[in-house]
Structure 1
Amino acid sequence: MPEQLSRPRRVGIWTSRVLAVLLASMFLVPLGLPSDSVPPLSGRANAIDYAASEGRWGWGNQNHNHGSFGHNQLDHGTFVYTDLGPYAALIYLLADINCHQKAERSWEIRGNQMPVCVRDIGILAGALLMSVIFTFRGRNRWLVRDTALSVLPDRWLEPIYRTNMRTKVCLGLAALAILPIGFDGGIQMLTSYESTNSLRLLTGAFFGAGICLYFLAGMSARPSEHGHDPSMVDLPAGLSFRRPLSGHQEE
């Protein structure tokens, strides 16, 4: 009978599979379409802009030269992804809902604009990399915080646990994920500064890795797997949790 995989490993494997399919699709779909069949786009995030040639679902195919979002799509040619095959249409629909799809912030393959911008490619790539790391290194250590930290080598964690700096380190990791994309995107939105695609890719990767790490930790941290006994959790430096008389766990 095959050995049962740990919960963190199962969560990591399934998350990796989903992200790998999504990331690969962002490249394979424009690669598989006829050349120059997806013109330069410019829509809105969190909205459907290119599902139709006109009307409510065809906002992107109208003239929006006057605003900060959109452009005159007629100058580039209309695009309706519902006219594509089911797989390509689904990928461009998911992208349309989540990404502004600005042409100047996106890559092209065979003259076809990719479904999402470069920053979103970075987010997917960073999340995929983190899910692979978590698959092999993640451990259920009772709390979300400690489960997230388990991806780091124990020799790095030993002084952190001995001095009980876990929360501060977690906040530092969160800042590392959020601040670069926040500064790069925020300054770009509020000033005339224009980022580069290389920087968008990098900041997106940090953000994607951070968000994915805490998602994976949240899905994997389960006290029930330790019999609801905190002393059974394997911590670095031979330390363990203990339950005080009040009934709350602490180290």
Structure 2
Amino acid sequence: MKNFLYKWLPIVFGCHCRDDRSFHYKGEKFPICARCTGELVGIIFSIFSCFFFKISILAIVILMLPLILDGGIQMFTSYESNNFKRFVTGLLFGYGLFMFIAVSTVATFKFGQHMGYNILK
């Protein structure tokens, strides 16, 4: 299982796996960086919470903005984020990303259902 995660998580998340931007546990580096770890935790959390909470598109965009700002500023300036900020922004982004997928899937289904009813009339 460990070999599977270390091989596929970086591919799925498109992770750079830099040692200095990754968490370590008992001297061993996580398979993905701190930001991608946060995204993974956010996605897992949102999978379970999407059945209980409804969230607006505006709230989803707001959840995704911190990662875009933190990563963008870090990419284009000399600013260097830390692993805690990377994890938190990844967590918010992962939660927002899955909720966006869930909301858009439901909306697409409802739209198709509505169109189907109109065709049958």
Q: What TM-score does the superposition give when structure 1 sets the normalisation length?
A: 0.41
The question of whether the paired residues in 1 share the 8 Å contact of 2:61 and 2:96 is answered with: no
Q: Give aligned pairs, total.
A: 113
What's the counterpart of residue 188 of structure 1? 74
In 1, Cα distance between equivalents of 2:86 and 2:37: 9
SS of 1:100's partner is coil
Q: Which amino acid aligns with 2:24?
A: E
Q: Determine if the alignment matches structure 1 residue 175 to structure 2 residue 61.
A: yes
Unaligned runs of 5+ in 1: 1-86, 138-150, 153-168, 230-246
In 2, Cα distance between equivalents of 1:173 and 1:136: 16
In 2, Cα distance between equivalents of 1:136 and 1:174: 16
In 2, Cα distance between equivalents of 1:223 and 1:215: 14
Alignment of 1:216-227 (within 5 A): 216-221=102-107, 222-223=109-110
What's the counterpart of residue 11 of structure 1? none
Runs of 4+ with deviation above 6 angstroms: none
Q: Determine if the alignment matches structure 1 residue 88 to structure 2 residue 10.
A: no
Q: Structure 1 residues 88 and 178, CA, compared in 2 at 3 Å: closer, same or farther?
A: same
Give 1:224 deviation, angstroms. Answer: 8.2
Give 1:173 deviation, angstroms. Answer: 2.1
Q: Which amino acid aligns with 1:216?
A: A
What's the counterpart of residue 36 of structure 2? 120
Q: What TM-score does the superposition give when structure 2 sets the normalisation length?
A: 0.79
In 1, Cα distance between equivalents of 2:19 and 2:93: 22
Q: Which amino acid aligns with 2:110?
A: P
Moved more, 115-124 or 214-223: 214-223
Larger helix proportion of the pair: 2
The question of whether the paired residues in 1 share the 8 Å contact of 2:60 and 2:100 is answered with: no
Alignment of 1:206-245 (within 5 A): 206-221=92-107, 222-223=109-110, 228=114
In 1, Cα distance between equivalents of 2:92 and 2:60: 10
What's the counterpart of residue 52 of structure 2? 136
Once the two structures are superposed, residues 164-222 of structure 1 have per-residue CA deviations (whole angstroms, 9 ceiling, x without a partner) of xxxxx52x324313321111111111121110111111111111111100111233343
Q: Tell me the C-alpha RMSD between the 2 structures.
A: 2.4
Q: Determine if the alignment matches structure 1 residue 109 to structure 2 residue 30.
A: no
SS of 1:194's partner is coil
1:197 to 76, 80, 83: 83
In 1, Cα distance between equivalents of 2:89 and 2:2: 27
In 2, Cα distance between equivalents of 1:179 and 1:109: 29
The question of whether the paired residues in 1 share the 8 Å contact of 2:18 and 2:33 is answered with: yes
Unaligned runs of 5+ in 2: none
